[in-house]
């Protein structure tokens, strides 16, 4: 049976709050791209902590990526009942940046962009996102005659699972432009936005924290 880790909304909030100063010291993002659905809530919370006095809010764009497998059929995750997602091996785009509006895309060129997701598991999704975004931004930048402007990508995840990764990231990104708020073992993380019964989810989380405190 896979070990589960119950994470509450307050845990997510605190992880974002703790990470924001480190991010402001290093990447200083000018724009965020949230990978849906898990990256949406962390990106929005992070924005509150990245806000600088006298500066506008950092814009958030969204992309949707999903890992799928042809067989067996993927199961829906359910944090409360305990069903665990069947993780796939291929990434599909369910939503992407709007390339029909060059004006919109122009905003990305030459910027420091933070890609936000909830968890780095096998790293397949992050590898796909980085590669595809770099490729697409380079194409738009060329089209706009801004080939000389450097667009920089960095990554924020709430959790990184300490395990062998299938996907790879550029070496420079892995060393200097990758921030995981928390590193965990190869457990199944139950996020609050997946819970069908949030009271029960929070209760299980509190129980887990209590057990951890009494065993340490
Ligand atoms: P990857 O294997 O590409 O790093 O992760 C793919 C996706 O699988 C993640 O974005 C996330 O949606 C889902 N995933 C992987 N591990 C977990 C986990 O422990 N809990 C939840 N809720 N989703 C996970």
DSSP 53-76: TTSPPPPEEEEEEEEE-SSSPPPP
Atom 8 (ligand 1) nearest CA: 87
Q: How far is the CA of 25 from the centre of ligand 1 (A)?
A: 28
pLDDT at 113: 96
Task: For residue 196, tell me if it sits in a domain.
Answer: no
Atom 21 (ligand 1) nearest CA: 189
Nearest-atom number in ligand 1 for the CA of 188 is 19
Euclidean distance between CA atoms 25 and 179, whole angstroms: 12
Render each residue's pLDDT in the chain as its tens digit; 216 residues.
Answer: 789 999 999 999 999 999 999 999 999 999 999 999 999 999 999 999 999 999 999 999 999 998 865 444 444 444 454 445 555 678 988 888 875 555 566 778 899 999 999 999 999 999 999 999 999 888 888 888 877 788 999 999 999 999 999 999 999 999 999 999 999 999 999 999 999 999 999 999 999 999 999 987
Task: For residue 19, tell me if it sits in a domain.
Answer: yes
Q: How far is the CA of 26 from the centre of ligand 1 (A)?
A: 26
Mutate to test the pocket of ligand 1, among 87, 188, 191, 195 (most ligand atoms within 8 A of CB): 87
Least Cα distance to 65 among 6, 121, 4 occurs for 121
Reply yes or no on whether 121 is catalytic.
Answer: yes
Pocket of ligand 1 from Cβ distances under 6 Å? 38, 67, 77, 85, 87, 117, 119-125, 188-189, 191, 194
Q: Coil, strand, or helix at residue 28?
A: coil
pLDDT at 71: 47
Task: For residue 137, tell me if it sits in a domain.
Answer: yes
pLDDT at 206: 98
pTM of the predicted protein model: 0.89
Q: How far is the CA of 119 from the centre of ligand 1 (A)?
A: 6
Task: For residue 23, tell me if it sits in a domain.
Answer: yes
Q: ω before 37 within 30° of 0 (cis)?
A: yes
Q: Which one from 11, 117, 120, 121 is the annotated catalytic residue?
A: 121
How many structural domains comprise the chain?
1
Return the CATH number at 65: 3.40.50.2020
Task: For residue 214, tell me if it sits in a domain.
Answer: no
Task: For residue 25, tell me if it sits in a domain.
Answer: yes
pLDDT at 85: 53
Nearest-atom number in ligand 1 for the CA of 5 is 19
Atom 16 (ligand 1) nearest CA: 121
CB 123 within 8 A of CB 167: yes
DSSP 140-195: HHHHTT-TTSPPEEEEEEEEEE-S--SS---HHHHHHSEEEEEEE-S-EEE-GGG-
Q: How far is the CA of 33 from the centre of ligand 1 (A)?
A: 17
pLDDT at 100: 59
Domain with 24 in it: 8-184
Nearest-atom number in ligand 1 for the CA of 120 is 4
Task: For residue 201, tell me if it sits in a domain.
Answer: no
Nearest-atom number in ligand 1 for the CA of 65 is 10
Task: For residue 164, tell me if it sits in a domain.
Answer: yes
């Amino acid at each position: 049976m896979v070990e589960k880790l119950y994470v509450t909304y307050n845990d997510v909030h605190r992880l974002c709050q703790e990470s924001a100063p480190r991010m402001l010291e290093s990447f200083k993002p000018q724009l965020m791209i949230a990978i849906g659905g898990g990256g949406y809530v962390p990106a929005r919370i992070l924005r509150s902590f990245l806000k600088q006095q006298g500066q506008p809010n950092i814009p958030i764009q969204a992309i949707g990526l999903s890992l799928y497998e042809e067989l067996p059929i993927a199961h829906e995750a359910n944090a409360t009942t305990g069903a665990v997602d069947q993780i796939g091996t291929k990434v599909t785009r369910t939503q992407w940046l709007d390339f029909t509006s060059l004006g919109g895309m122009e905003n990305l060129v030459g910027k420091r962009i933070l890609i936000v997701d909830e968890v780095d598991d096998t790293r397949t999704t992050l590898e796909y996102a980085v590669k595809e975004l770099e490729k697409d931004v380079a194409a738009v930048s060329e089209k706009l005659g801004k080939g000389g402007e450097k667009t920089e990508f960095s990554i924020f995840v709430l959790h990184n699972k300490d395990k062998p990764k299938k996907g790879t990231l550029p070496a420079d990104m892995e060393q200097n432009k990758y921030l995981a708020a928390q590193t965990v073992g190869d457990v199944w993380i139950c996020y609050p936005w997946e819970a069908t019964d949030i009271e029960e989810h929070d209760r299980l989380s509190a129980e887990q924290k209590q057990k951890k405190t009494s065993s340490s």
